[in-house]
Amino acid sequence: MINIRPVSDLRNKFSEIEETVIHSNAPVFLTKNGYGTMVLMSIEQYSELTDNIERKLDESDAAAEQTTVRYSASEVFGRARSRINEHARV
């Protein structure tokens, strides 16, 4: 279940929000004046989202050190768009 709370709860009910984030293993969405402002999540949740990306970036850095070949931004994004479009057709 999505947990949406006013940002004032962060100040007034921090312990309750902390318990929710840690024990439900789900993020808490905070709103201000009825609009979303931020998302709170545990360190474990954040790591699940970012660890693979960090690993892939490290692999890319290592591969870049092995060659002098460089690509322009338009080449990189063009290839990314092509791959996304290929997957969209499947």
Q: Are 34 and 51 in contact (CB under 8 A)?
A: no
CA distances from 62 to 23, 66, 89 (A): 37, 7, 32
Structural domains present in the chain:
3-41 (3.40.1620.10), 45-89 (no CATH)
Which candidate, 10, 19, 11, places its Cα nearest to that of 39? 10
Please determine, for residue 90, whether its predicted confidence score (pLDDT) is greater than 80: no
pLDDT at 87 (0 to 100): 82
pLDDT at 25 (0 to 100): 86
pLDDT tier, 89 (very low <50, low <70, confident <90, very high otherwise): confident
pTM over 0.85: no
CB-count burial class (<10 Å; 0-12, 13-18, 19+) for 86: exposed
Please determine, for residue 21, whether its predicted confidence score (pLDDT) is greater than 80: yes
